[in-house]
Amino acid sequence: MPVMGRTIRNLRASYSQVPLLGWLCGALIAVTLERFAGTPIALALGLPKIPALFGLDIMLKKPILVPNAILYVFLVYGLPMGATTRSSISLTNRLAGRLFRFPIAITVAVHLALLYTTLHLWAGISDYRALVLKLTLIAVMLTLSLNVINGYMGEFSCSHPGFMALGAYCASVFTVGLFVDDRLFGAVFLPPGLGPFLFPVALILGGFLASFGALFVAIPSFRTRGDYLAIISLAFLFIVKSLIENLEFVRGPRGLSGQPDLADLPTVFLWTVLCVWSINNFVRSTIGKALNAVRDNEMAAGAMTVDTRRTKIVAFLFAAFWAGVAGGLFAHVLRYVNPSTFGIQNLAEVLAMVYFGGLNSVYGSIVGAVSISLLGEALRPLEIFKWIIIPLLLILVMIFRPTGLIAFKDLDVTSLLRPKRKPGGEV
């Protein structure tokens, strides 16, 4: 046993010197390997296909294949990643060090390009992967934007699906009206080739509409807190939902379909990066700190010259904007929206992601959104028991880590990208 403990400690010590660049390169090598040798390896291991989600998806359907899937994941991801990252520690550290001398924007761009290439190759294996990845990235955006209100500002807002619905409908009306021959909005207005260029406009308009809607929650929040604001924001959600249900020009409860296929993986990835970047900067700025002050004690914050009203309005509008953008992307990934999608169930899911991952933390939101999305996919075959297991997990997290898995942690990009070892060799 002590031998094992020492080995693990040694492993941890050696891998802690791997910079992020090293991990990304390792992942890239692993997915490239999967791309070229994935199918033969899977077949050799007795799997019918490359397991789509690390074997999570077949885990419960065919338990007999679980060891095969684990072995596959080990052979294709674990082994190459482990070996290459370990053996190239000095190389990647030197590279990271050299990259680090450039302006930070270039360093970040190189890392993001690597990350995107990895994800692109990974998702290229199967369309199911790509779809799950896109919806997960959208969930990350939603969770992060809700975390601004519920985590950083400490209010309990229930209106997020409402913001998302506003964004989704606004963007859909924009694209369907302009690029699709639809019986509601008439013939094609602009050549569909312009679609990808005007899609950001649609998303931003959706975000602005959601922000406008957020005013109706932000203003009451001046005088109410806690449970009362929760009820007001819940009311807002229902107002949005019944508004859309009664609007005939977006086809009411029948839902709006036929959105052009504009939300491909690069688009969703780019918007997610923008969202993470801007929210991370927002919460680390002066106004972000003001949010925390309002959360901890509104009166004291006011006494310390924090303009609490402005802070609240900005936070609500900002969070709603990103929820609206996420909604617009969501509508174009599914290419169908209907009002009942944006109901209590959706709210419960986003809240679960926020509280599971961790309040007041960008890391936490990413972890929460990714893990709940993947769990949802993995546990689908359990049918009704899925709805017992996920809430149970949430309860356990709440008991043992009351603020979520990774709460109150700043995402500091510089320290994340820094080389982990001096080129000389010493740590």
Interaction site with other proteins (CB under 8 A): 43-49, 52, 57, 64-65, 67-68, 71, 126-128, 131-132, 135, 241-242, 245-246, 252-255, 257, 330, 334-341, 345, 377, 380-381, 383-384, 386-387
**Residue whose CB is less far from other proteins, 220 or 255:** 255
Residue 186 DSSP one-character state: B
Please work out, in degrees rounded to the nearest 5, the angle formed at the alpha carbon of residue 80 by the alpha carbons of 78 and 82.
Answer: 60
- For residue 113, the minimal CB distance to other proteins (Å) is 27
**Closer Cβ to other proteins, 28 or 137, answer by number:** 137
Q: How far apart are CA 58 and CA 125, in angstroms?
A: 16
Q: What are phi and psi of 165, to 5 degrees?
A: -65, -45
Closer by beta carbon to other proteins, 336 or else 363 = 336
Could you tell me the smallest distance in angstroms from the CB atom of residue 70 to other proteins? 10
Radius of gyration (C-alpha) of the chain in whole angstroms: 23
Nearest to 25, CA basis, from 150, 114, 91, 105: 114
- What is the C-alpha to C-alpha distance for residues 425 and 236, in angstroms, rounded to an integer? 58
| CB closer to other proteins out of 43 and 215 | 43
Among 327, 331, 318, 406, which Cα is nearest to 366's?
Answer: 406
Using an 8 Å Cβ cutoff, are 167 and 324 in contact? yes
CA angle 7, 10, 410 (to 5 degrees): 125
Which residue, 143 or 211, has its beta carbon nearer to other proteins? 143
The single-letter DSSP state of residue 381 is G
Q: How far is the CB of 247 from other proteins (least distance, A)?
A: 11
The smaller minimum CB distance to other proteins, of residues 387 and 408, is found at 387
CB of 53 to other proteins, least distance (A): 9
Least separation in angstroms between CB 194 and other proteins: 22
Nearer to other proteins, 1 or 384 (CB): 384
Least distance in angstroms from the C-beta of 407 to other proteins: 28
When the beta carbons of 97 and 343 are compared against other proteins, the nearer one is 343
Nearer to other proteins, 200 or 255 (CB): 255
Minimal distance, residue 159 CB to other proteins, in Å: 18
Shortest Å distance, C-beta 254 to other proteins: 5
45: helix, strand or coil:
coil
Tokens of 172: 């859909």
- What minimum distance in Å lies between the beta carbon of 162 and other proteins? 15
Tell me if residue 336 falls in helix, strand or coil.
strand
SS3 of 142-158: the string is HHHHHHHHHHHCCCCCC
Least separation, in Å, of the C-beta of 245 and other proteins?
Answer: 4
Of residues 154 and 192, the one with the C-beta less far from other proteins? 192
Nearest Cα to Cα of residue 291 among 227, 207, 218, 185: 218
How far apart (Å, rounded) are the C-alpha atoms in residues 126 and 140? Answer: 21
State whether the Cα torsion 341-346-347-348 is positive or negative. positive
Query: For residue 216, what are its two tokens?
Result: 């109706």
| Least spacing, CB of residue 411 vs other proteins, in Å | 27
Q: How far apart are CA 19 and CA 100, in angstroms?
A: 12
Amino acid letter for position 79? L
Task: For other proteins, give the closer residue by CB, 66 or 230.
Answer: 66
Which residues are CB-contacts of 403 (< 8 A; sequence separation ≥ 6)?
A: 358, 359, 360
- Cite the DSSP H helix spans in 219-262: 226-246
CA distance 103 to 174: 38
DSSP state for residue 159 in the 8-state scheme: -
d(CA 185, CA 40): 50
